[in-house]
Every structure is written in structure tokens, then in C-alpha cells.
Amino acid sequence: MNLLKNAKISRLTASQFTFERWRAGSLTELNIYTKYYSIEENAHVIRSHTVGFIKAEKLWVRPKLNCVAVMFFVNDQHFWTHLTIKEFLSCYPELKKEFKSLKK
């Protein structure tokens, strides 16, 4: 894992984002609903459970353009979901340089 300097979050590889882990949970496990305002208001919760991320276009499973796949660890289980770049940067503004070449 490549722990990013200021973010306390790792850049993960595509092989870690499996279909089984995608199905294993969602942000609702954290009482967060997939609307920008809910994600922004709960950025501290998201940050506390985030393991790592990858640009979603690089995924082997469920790739998406202009999104980020984020891995979480909650209740002794890994799961991941897609966040838009805007949602991701509301939680990790210090990673803005990572996404400067992608559209929001």
C-alpha cells in the first residue's frame, strides 16, 4: 500500500476492489446517504473508516469515469463504493492534485 503523505489514506490496486467487497456494504452502514450534502456533512466519519482509494476508471470491477472507488473497513469487514470526484474531494481536499486532470 502506498500511504499518501498528508492524507492518512492509501492508494490501492484494482485487484483489491472485488465484486464481493462491492456487495459487502455501503455508506448506509455509517448512516450516510449518497447525496453530496450528506457525504460533505459526514466527511469526518468517512475519513475515519476509509482504507484507501483508486481512480474508478482503473477498476477491473465496475469501472466508472470521473469517480473514485473508496474502500472502507466497518464492523470487521471491507467494502467499497464509488464517490464522485466532488464528493471524494469534499472528504479529502488535500488530494486535489491527484484529480486535477479529471473532470468534476
Q: Where do the structural domains in the chain lie, given as residue ranges? A: 2-93
Indicate the pLDDT class of residue 34, thresholds 50, 70 and 90. Answer: confident
Q: What is the pTM of this model?
A: 0.88
In sequence order, the 6+-apart residues with CB closer than 8 A to the CB of 49 are 30, 72, 73, 74
Q: For 11, list phi and psi in degrees, rounded to 5.
A: -85, 120
The answer to which of 2-11, 27-36, 70-79 has the lowest mean pLDDT is: 2-11
pLDDT tens digits for 81-93?
Answer: 999 999 999 999 9
- Find residue 53's DSSP bridge partners: 11, 70
- Find residue 69's DSSP bridge partners: 54, 82
pLDDT of 19 over the 60 cut: yes
Three-state DSSP state, 55: strand
Cβ–Cβ under 8 Å, residues 69 and 54:
yes
